[in-house]
Amino acid sequence: MIELKNLSRQFGEMWAVRDLNLTINKGEFCVLVGTSGCGKSTTLRMINRLIEHSAGEIHIDGQPVRGFREDLLRRRIGYVIQHVGLFPHWTVARNIGLVPRLLGWEPERIAARVDELMALLGMSAERFSGKYPRQLSGGQAQRVGVARALAADPEILLMDEPFGALDPLTRDGLQEELLSLHHRLNKTIVFVTHDMDEALRLADRLVVMHEGQIRQQGRPIELLREPVDEFVESLLGGNSRGLKEAALTPVAQRLCHAEMTSGVPDIDANKTLRDALSLMLWHRVDCLNVVEGSESLGTLRLADVVTARAPMGTTRGLSS
């Protein structure tokens, strides 16, 4: 879907990005991470030509991006930023319908698309469509930003630190919504973040950048278990990588189909091993009952968590 070939960007004497090669497959959720100034946001903005590349090539569906008119290219690529960028004197509905209006859609089609997207993002059209950005919470405004980016049904969604300014609870909820949207819509997403837990949770492909180049890329579990060097190991959490891997592994993968144990807490099968460890520590137990809804599935023992290891291809974010 997206190919970056020997991509470089120079600002004066400084190379922000240098000889970068990356292929992002259709429907893939690719997350760029790295320290400040590593070139990840510059790379993102070169894809839709908000920043022009100095050398190399960018292809979308096999076509060089410089073969597209800039305005048409940006209309076919959704773009979401941290501070949303909603027009303050436009209603929510008008903000969401911006790109379809620029594309000349009929008013009835625009209205139907706005209602569809608001429902998709859990916002009542009756309640929110007539509101202004100043009347929204941070999380609501960010949902509107995502809806606006999706309005013309683009194949690609670029997201630059979209949840960075939000409180942890709101951020967690929006991450879950974004994963759900990705599963339902199968968009190709390129996402920039400083938050490693967020990156590991969302990514199919994790790309670690350093000094304008890719240091390592692959499935999150691969990078956690086999970092290419000390920089990648440190960025991914150093000695806490085991807990980060536990946060990627569902309880259902480790449960034993044994009789339920009395006097210990229940845990949902879709929770992670990190959730399970936290619950065990809090209640001072070494076993939990695993449930799904009202159904009892078995038990999870501490030994099952710490002695077994999931295969490389079985945790979140590992589909090709």
Domains and CATH numbers, the chain: 2-242 (3.40.50.300), 249-307 (3.10.580.10)
160-182 pLDDT, tens digit each: 998 887 888 888 988 998 999 89
Q: What is the pLDDT of residue 290?
A: 95
Q: What is the pLDDT of residue 170?
A: 86
Structural contact between residues 291 and 266, judged by C-beta atoms closer than 8 angstroms? yes
110-142 pLDDT, tens digit each: 999 999 999 988 889 889 999 999 999 988 999
Structural contact between residues 68 and 58, judged by C-beta atoms closer than 8 angstroms? no
| pLDDT, average across residues 74-87 | 85
Q: Which residue has the tokens 């009952």?
A: 289
- Give percent above pLDDT 70 in the chain: 96
232 vs 294, higher pLDDT: 232
pLDDT over threshold 60, residue 76: yes
Give, for 208, the enclosing helix (H) or strand (E). strand 205-210
State the pLDDT confidence band at 304, using cuts at 50, 70 and 90.
confident
Burial label for 266, CB within 10 Å (0-12, 13-18, 19+), is exposed
pLDDT over threshold 60, residue 205: yes
State the pLDDT confidence band at 315, using cuts at 50, 70 and 90.
low
Q: What is the pLDDT of residue 318?
A: 39
Among 194, 209, 156, 193, which residue's Cα sits nearest to residue 21?
Answer: 209
Q: What is the pLDDT of residue 259?
A: 83
User: Average pLDDT of the chain?
Assistant: 90
232-252 pLDDT, tens digit each: 999 999 999 999 999 999 999
d(CA 260, CA 62): 55
Q: What is the pLDDT of residue 320?
A: 31
1-53 pLDDT, tens digit each: 899 999 999 998 899 999 999 999 999 999 999 999 999 999 999 999 999 99
d(CA 296, CA 254): 15
Q: What is the pLDDT of residue 75?
A: 79
Q: What is the pLDDT of residue 69?
A: 87
pLDDT over threshold 80, residue 154: yes
d(CA 285, CA 263): 10
List strand residue ranges (DSSP E) for 108-212, in order: 156-160, 188-192, 205-210
State the pLDDT confidence band at 260, using cuts at 50, 70 and 90.
confident
- Give percent above pLDDT 90 in the chain: 71
pLDDT over threshold 70, residue 311: no
pLDDT over threshold 50, residue 156: yes
State the pLDDT confidence band at 312, using cuts at 50, 70 and 90.
low
Beta bridge partners, 33, equal 208
pLDDT over threshold 90, residue 198: yes
